[in-house]
Structures are given as C-alpha cells and as structure tokens.
C-alpha cells in the first residue's frame, strides 16, 4: 500500500528527466530505433489507409514497436487518471491563478481549464480557433520540422543533430510567442 501512495505523488524532475533520457541509449542499443511520437500517425495511416499514396508506401510493420509505445502512453494516461489520482486539487502557482482569472478562468479542478476545453466551448469561434486551427498548426509544424518536440528535443539533441537543435529552438520560441501573445489575444475574444 505504501508503494501506491508513493507512485501517486508527482515525481521530481531529477528522477523523471533521467528516466526519459535513458530511453535514448536503450532504444539505440535495442535495434537502432528513434524515440518520437509523431511518426506513429504515419505508421497508423500506412497500415489502415488503402491506396497508392507514395508517402505511405513503406514497411510500416518494422515500426510496430512505435505503435505499442504510443498505445502504452494512452493506457498509461487512462490508468493514471482513473486509479492513480490522489484526489488533491492541482497546485497552481498564485501568479498564474491571478493571470488566468483575468481571462475569466476560475476552475482549477482539472489540468485544463474547463472554460476552454468542453463541448459547448468547442462550438464557439474561440473553440474553433483553439482546436481546429491549432491542431492544423501542430500537424503542419510537426511535418515541416520532420518530427515532434519529443523526437527532436530528446532523441535529436542527444544525437547532436543540428536540425534538431534548430527545431527545438523554434519550438521554444513558438511556445513563448503563443503563451504570451497569441493565447491572451484568443482568450480576450
């Protein structure tokens, strides 16, 4: 029972970070595999979409391990939210709470503001911008950058790849601009 209480607590960065970092050499040793999540969508499309699309014409079966990895992420999230939730409210920095209250976001019961992420909000202009346009930008950016943040920042930087350094810097700049300029403008619509 003590183990369950321990695992329900947030893990500090100095434990979680090295565990994630150890994935890189482990994947390389176990078959020269690259860590990343965005490529799994291509593998799923190659497996499911019939047709003669050149982008999906490759041996996706040798990448099946990646599909199991992504399935594990989904199952891990379900297990964590259903059975490992400690029931305590999420700790939010007081400065962030004050800033979010300026945008009429007062509900901190979930990790995402319910005022933004719910079905009625999806049918508004703000919901459309956040979900559809944002999803398009993420998909386009992932394809344009040749991978996702986890692939570039974890795998690419550990392999000292110059394109991954450029992509990671661009991801960070885009995140800062979105969080400090674009999101406040959307929330004020």
pLDDT per residue as tens digits for the range 76-118: 988 888 888 777 777 778 888 888 777 777 666 554 656 666 7
Mean pLDDT of 151-169: 88
Q: Indicate the range of 6-10, 56-60, 72-76, 79-83 predicted with least confidence.
A: 6-10
DSSP string, 10-46: PPPHHHHHHHHHTHHHHHHHTTSPPP-STHHHHHHHH
pLDDT of residue 52: 82
For the chain, the domains span 1-88
171 within 8 A of 152, measured Cβ to Cβ: yes
Asked whether residue 30 carries a pLDDT value surpassing 70, the answer given is yes
- Identify the pLDDT of residue 109: 57
Q: What's residue 115's pLDDT?
A: 62
Sign of the dihedral through C-alpha 113, 114, 118, 120 = negative
pLDDT at 173: 95
Range in 2-6, 56-60, 66-70 the model is least confident about: 2-6
For residue 66, pLDDT over 60 is answered with yes
Predicted confidence band of residue 172 (pLDDT cuts 50, 70, 90): very high
Q: CA nearest 60: which of 72, 39, 46?
A: 46
The two tokens of residue 135 are 């999803």
Residue 146, phi-psi category: left (phi > 0), alpha (psi -120 to 50), beta (remainder): left
Q: List all residues 6 or more positions away from 23 whose beta carbon is below 8 Å from its beta carbon.
A: 35, 154
Among 31, 33, 41, residue whose Cα is nearest residue 148: 41
Write down the H helix ranges in the chain.
2-7, 13-21, 23-29, 39-48, 64-83, 94-101, 119-122, 125-128, 134-145, 149-150, 157-158, 162-177, 183-187
């Amino acid at each position: 029972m003590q183990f369950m209480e321990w695992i329900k607590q947030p893990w500090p960065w100095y434990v979680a970070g090295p565990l994630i970092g150890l994935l890189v050499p482990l994947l390389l040793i176990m078959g020269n595999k690259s860590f990343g999540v965005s490529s799994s969508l291509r593998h799923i499309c190659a497996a499911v979409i019939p047709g003669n699309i050149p982008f999906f014409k490759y041996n996706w079966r040798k990448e099946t391990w990646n599909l199991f990895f992504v399935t594990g992420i989904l199952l891990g999230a379900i297990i964590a939210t259903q059975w490992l939730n400690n029931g305590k409210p999420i700790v939010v920095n007081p400065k962030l709470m004050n800033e979010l209250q300026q945008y009429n976001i007062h509900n901190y019961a979930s990790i995402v503001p319910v005022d933004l992420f719910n079905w009625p909000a999806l049918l508004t202009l703000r919901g459309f911008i956040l979900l559809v346009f944002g999803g398009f930008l993420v998909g386009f950016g992932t394809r344009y950058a040749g991978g996702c943040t986890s692939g570039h920042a974890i795998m690419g930087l550990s392999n000292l790849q110059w394109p991954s350094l450029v992509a990671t810097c661009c991801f960070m700049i885009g995140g800062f601009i979105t969080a400090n300029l674009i999101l406040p403008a959307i929330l004020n619509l």
